[in-house]
Amino acid sequence: MRAHLARVDAVLVQAVIAAALSFAHLHDVASAAGQDGWKAWAYPVSVDLLLVAAWRRLRSGDAKAAGWCWFLIALAASLGANVATAGLLDLDHVPAWLRILVAGWPAVAFLGGTLLVHSSPTTHDETSDAVGQETPEDIEDQEGAPDPAPEPPAPPAVESAPAPPPASPPVAVPAALVEHARKVAAEHHARTGTAIDTPTLRARLGVPPPMADAIAAQL
What is the separation of C-alpha 13 from the centre of its chain, rounded to a whole number of angstroms?
Answer: 32
Please state the length of the chain: 219
pLDDT by residue (tens digit) across 84-116? 887 777 777 878 888 888 888 888 888 888 888
- Using a cut of 0.75, tell me whether the model's pTM lies above it: no
pLDDT number for residue 158: 54
With vertex at residue 80, the alpha carbon angle to CA 74 and CA 83, rounded to the nearest 5 degrees, is: 145
Q: Cβ(78)–Cβ(26) under 8 Å?
A: yes
| Rounded CA Rg of the chain | 40
Q: What is the pLDDT of residues 2-17, one digit of tens each?
A: 555 556 678 888 878 8
Domain segments of the chain as ranges: 2-119, 175-218
Q: How far apart are CA 162 and CA 194, in angstroms?
A: 42
Q: What is the mean pLDDT of each run of 10 residues along the chain (219 residues)?
A: 62 81 83 85 88 85 81 88 79 83 88 78 48 51 57 60 57 75 83 82 78 77
pLDDT at residue 150 in the model = 63
Give, as one character, the DSSP assignment of residue 133.
Answer: -
The H or E element containing residue 39 is helix 38-60
